[in-house]
């Protein structure tokens, strides 16, 4: 917890592995037992509060955001003052014990609201990059670190990627949405009522319903959790695709995030982003789309503008191991 308030902006880490002997185990990383995951999360300074899985992957709602475990991929994002990058080495070691080798890594985050509250190794992006380079294999030769600025706001997007090969455009793309200055009336839906008689799961389900989060992707199976006295997290599972939402509703540093994945074979992501943004009525919205075509970014832009928001900035950068990252920012039209 920061002195001024809770840090909503998440740090996100994605690790991609492959089999060492070319015989891919269909379960792969999902063989990691719960105790091993808990030990890794203890280093990060968070815990599992709820879980859900299907044939494709396992999903965990954390005390500070989310963890997704696929047979050859791990995605973990945490907020607050967690030390996310301390999970890199443990995940690599556990994967090696399962005969899996790291072939790509991507770390992303926005600009912290309370940067001075962040502990090592997150006191600066430079420190994070140095830490990453010191804790990943040297054979990941396609490395790049960059801060993608927003031209008209103070918010920037930080990206580090590394891999054994250049990016292939046939992989799913990731959309990360960060929302600040939430509409106070909408944000109040994520506060618990004192002595409401509900547990975290039932209160979370109620928040999912009354906020309209359940309508963002009606096909998704949702695992939700309400924190006390306020705050909310959910993971959605739709086949091999995930989505996730995290809410810090306190006035003065309110924040919500939405993340999902898509592919060139479906075009429903822009509509999902529009629905997610509408849930929170944020004053400022930033969207980072990784490894996506410009068509996808334009669809997202058009969808958000239909909500009465104005595009204020669009910047992009190329990463050898991750592809194109497009960073867009939007503000309410009535804001100066």
* Active site (annotated) includes residue 14: no
* Active site (annotated) includes residue 65: yes
Ranking 8-12, 51-55, 321-325 by mean pLDDT, the lowest is: 8-12
* Active site (annotated) includes residue 46: no
Q: What pLDDT band is residue 335 in, cutting at 50, 70 and 90?
A: low
Residue tagged active-site, from 46, 79, 178, 260: 79
Question: Tell me: the pLDDT tens digits for 202-217?
Answer: 999 999 999 999 999 9
- 171 has pLDDT over 80: no
- 2 has pLDDT over 50: no
Question: Tell me: the pLDDT tens digits for 259-281?
Answer: 999 876 666 899 999 999 999 99
Residue 91 — φ and ψ, nearest 5°?
-65, -40
Q: Rg (Cα) of the chain, in Å, rounded?
A: 19
| Residue 83 and residue 44 in contact, taking contact as beta carbons nearer than 8 Å | yes
* Active site (annotated) includes residue 206: no
218-231 average pLDDT score:
95
Between strands 48-53 and 58-62, the pairing is: antiparallel
What whole-number percentage of the chain has pLDDT above 70? 94
Output 80 or 91, whichever has higher pLDDT.
91
Residue tagged active-site, from 66, 233, 243, 254: 233
Question: Tell me: the pLDDT tens digits for 181-200?
Answer: 999 999 999 999 888 889 99
**pTM of the predicted model as reported, rounded to 2 decimal places:** 0.94
Residue tagged active-site, from 111, 246, 250, 286: 246
* Active site (annotated) includes residue 7: yes
Dihedral through CA 149, CA 84, CA 46, CA 95, nearest 10?
130
Q: What pLDDT band is residue 152 in, cutting at 50, 70 and 90?
A: low
Cα–Cα dist 86/230, whole Å: 27
> Which domains are seen in the chain, by residue range?
11-332 (3.60.90.10)
Token digits of residue 217? 């992707």
């Amino acid at each position: 917890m920061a002195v001024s308030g809770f840090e909503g902006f998440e740090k996100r880490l994605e690790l991609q592995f492959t089999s060492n002997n070319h015989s891919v185990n269909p379960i792969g990383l999902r063989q990691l037992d719960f105790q091993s995951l808990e030990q890794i999360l203890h280093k990060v300074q968070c815990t599992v509060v709820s879980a859900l899985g299907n044939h494709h992957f396992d999903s965990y709602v954390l005390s500070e955001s989310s963890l997704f475990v696929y047979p050859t991929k791990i995605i973990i994002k945490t907020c607050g003052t967690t030390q996310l990058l301390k999970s890199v080495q443990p995940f690599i070691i556990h994967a090696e014990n399962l005969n899996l080798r790291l072939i790509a890594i991507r770390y992303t985050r926005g600009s912290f609201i309370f940067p001075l509250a962040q502990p090592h190794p997150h006191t600066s992006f430079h420190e994070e990059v140095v830490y990453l380079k010191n804790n990943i294999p040297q054979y990941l030769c396609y490395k790049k670190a960059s801060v993608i600025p927003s031209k008209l706001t103070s918010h920037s997007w930080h990206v580090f990627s590394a891999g054994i090969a250049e990016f292939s455009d046939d992989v799913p793309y990731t959309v990360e949405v960060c929302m600040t200055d939430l509409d106070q009336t909408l944000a109040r839906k994520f506060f618990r009522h004192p002595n409401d008689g509900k547990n975290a799961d039932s209160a979370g389900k109620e928040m999912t319903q009354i906020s309209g989060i359940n309508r963002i992707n009606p096909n998704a199976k949702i695992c939700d959790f309400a924190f006390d006295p306020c705050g909310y997290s959910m993971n959605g599972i739709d086949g091999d695709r995930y989505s996730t939402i995290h809410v810090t509703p306190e006035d003065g540093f309110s924040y919500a995030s939405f993340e999902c994945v898509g592919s060139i074979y479906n075009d429903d992501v822009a509509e999902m982003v529009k629905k997610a943004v509408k849930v929170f009525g944020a004053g400022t919205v930033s969207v980072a789309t990784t490894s996506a075509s410009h068509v996808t970014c334009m669809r997202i832009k058009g969808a958000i503008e239909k909500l009465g928001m104005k595009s204020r900035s669009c910047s992009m950068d190329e990463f050898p191991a991750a592809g194109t990252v497009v960073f867009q920012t939007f503000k309410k039209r009535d804001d100066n």
